[in-house]
Every structure is written in C-alpha cells, then in structure tokens.
Structure 1
Amino acid sequence: MSSNEKRLAGEAAIRYVEDGAIVGVGTGSTVAYFIDALADLKDRIQGAVSSSEQSTAQLKKHGIPVLDLNATGPLALYVDGADECDPHRQLIKGGGAALTREKIVAAAAAKFVCIIDSSKRVDLLGRFPLPIEVIPMARSLVGREIARRGGHPVWRDGTVTDNGNWIIDVHGWQIADPVALESELNQLAGVVSVGLFARRPADVVLVGDQVM
C-alpha cells in the first residue's frame, strides 16, 4: 500500500505544474515517482531546480534541464516528500540527508506541495528522529546542546551530505512547538540546517492522490 500511495502522490503532484514553469524538485522515493511523471511534461517546462545529486541524476536521465537557483530567481512550485507530517502541514525531513538544500529550494518557492503516503502522518512530530546537519568539527558541541534539551543525539556515521557536512539524528523528542524548536536549534553554533519545516510548512499535502 505504501508504494502505491507514493506513486499516486508523485503522479498527483503533476496537476500543480504550470506550462513554462521552473519546478523545484526534492529528494526521496516518493519524489522519484514525481520525477518520472514530470518527464512526460519536459517539453512544457523550462527545467528544474534540484535539491540533491540523487535527484539531479534522475532529472538528467529523463532529459529535464537542471538549473541553478541563483540564475532562476523565485520559483512557482516546489515538490518534495517528508518523513513526518503533522495536522498543521509542519514536517520533519532529512532522512535522505538533503535537508539543507531542500530547505533552500522550499524557501524560494511560492507553493510547496508535499507528497507522502499515509504512514508519514502523525499527530505530534518526533517519532521519526529529527535530522540536523552540522559542520563536522561541531558534532560533539551540538550533541551536548541537544542532550541538555532532553534529546538523544546519534551521529549518522558514514553519511556525508552533498554539502560535505555530517548529520545528527535526534531521538526522544515529542515536538509540541515545532516553530519555536526550529528557531532555537538554528541559533546553535555549528548547525547548518534543522530538519524541521515548520516556519515554512507545506502549502499542500497530498496523501496518495488525496489532499490532506
């Protein structure tokens, strides 16, 4: 069921793609279905801005031009998945270690369409460990700050982001105020990006082919 819902969500997101658009594209297994569907429209769009090397490779395989965000300016649309989504369309992302670039592209987009399967819906964020991208030399420093706040930091050993940084996954948090926690964690020295998409949540969430 999960795989079918992912495919349905990826294909349903195509309805938000307008002719002549530059589409922001996220990362992950659900987004892969969206990219496959986007290939059928490649002659009707200008191209895509990609959030990861993985998505860039898939886009280029389909012959979809991959553009630099610095050259495109604001985007009309960003499509991406999530590891968790609460009833307010606030998200945890970063299971694929692309959270920083995903957050940048989401911030540049007028509309953020999140595509998920029903297993990603939660009442309270935090069941999925919260990814935080950190400068390598700050791993222990940030880990201590997380522990002080009651979280259990685990270094995702062996994972290096496309930006050359490391990931800490935080277990044990039930996140009652995602906006406040995102803002607080962003201030820690050494933190590059936090996998909370709460200050800029999704505008539309598709669960399969249904709007949540």
Structure 2
Amino acid sequence: MSLERHRFTTARGPLPYLYGGPAEPSPAAPLLVFLHGGRDRGDDLDLLLRWSPPKQAAASVDRAYHFVAPQLPSDQAWTDRPGDVLALVDALIDTHRIDAGRTVLAGFSLGAAAAWQLAADHPDRFAGLVVASGRVPDGIAVDALARTPTWVFHGGLDDKLPHADVERHVAAVRAAGGHVNYTLYPQGNHFISEQAFVDSGFAPWLARRHRRAAHHAEA
C-alpha cells in the first residue's frame, strides 16, 4: 500500500505530510503519528521514506492502522510547530473518523525529543508514546509522562546520545509510576529505526493502545 501526499496549511506556513489508512477500514484502527529526524527536513516527502516507520507503512499490504508523518521545512524545528502538529492530527481524526483515544505518538532523533515534549505537555491526549534515538528535553514534566504508556529504543553505540542519559530518564518515569518498555540494542548506532519499528514486535504493541484504558494497559 502506498502513502498519500498532502499539504496542511497553517498560519506558520505549509506542513506537507504522508498519510495512509488501514487496509481494512475499521473504527477501531489506531492512528500512528510519526515525527522525523533532523536530516529529513525539507520539501521532499521522499526523504521520509528512507526510514521506518514511514517506509514500513508504505510497504505494508495489510496495514492495520492509520499513519501520518508531517515534514518540517529545512529551517524549522518541531518546537516551532507543536500546535500545527496537533491541529493536523485533529483534522485527520475528524475527516477519517478516527478514534481520538487511539492516537499514538512516535519520534526518531529530533522527532523523539519533540515527542517526549508533546506527550508531557498533553498527558491526556496520547494512548502511547514511542521514542527512538532521542534526547529527553531539559525540565520535562516526568509526572505528566507517567500517564502515557511508553516504549523507548536506543542504540548502545549511539554517538549522538549516550544510552545512560536515556536510561536515567526511563528510571525517573518508572519511579513516578509510569509504564515504560526500554529496549537497548547493544551494538546499535543512532540509526535503529528498522529494529525499533519493524523487528521489535512494535505492531502488536500499537494494536493494544487505547487511551481510556491507558492506566491498565500493558506497556
């Protein structure tokens, strides 16, 4: 199944995005929102298809979820557009009749840091949070994050962010009562998107997410 290419316009400018629906329409299908890394900024949506989960979503013939991946302009960061990301998600939920309680937020690298922040700032919005190879923003509200089931992926040989830094944050969220899966790939580098989003058993985890039952959900 391919992904559709669209453009969402806001006061800050256009936000191109990839979108794909489930192979079999279902009101129970979750929505996976993916925030890309820094090297995928620009005006070419093909850049996003080099990595999973966009690559996986595009290649899947039996996709069981809605998928959206917006693309930042080359001169912006996700911190410039948090409201636009949420507005895009709301628009998709409305137009495709998606259950808002089944929205899962994922990010890689630069997008992972933004995903941490969005989940902390909007703790009742997401049914799950997935972060791969991303730093944790300073001063983030750990207690708020504890309300969202989370899966963290990191490479032991990541030269951009030591895994010990991520592990300290995982421990803090767990200490606050949060459900956090943590997967370390000891020989993995910064670019572990295939392992994280394809080889890890991520799809069944995504299928179980539901915000109304988040505090009972298996992380």
What interval of TM-score do these two structures reach, taking the shorter chain for normalisation? 0.3 to 0.5
Q: Which one has the largest radius of gyration?
A: 1
Q: Give the TM-score, by structure 2 length.
A: 0.33
Ranked by relative contact order (alpha carbons within 8 Å, sequence separation 6 or more), the top structure is 1
Normalising by structure 1, what TM-score? 0.34
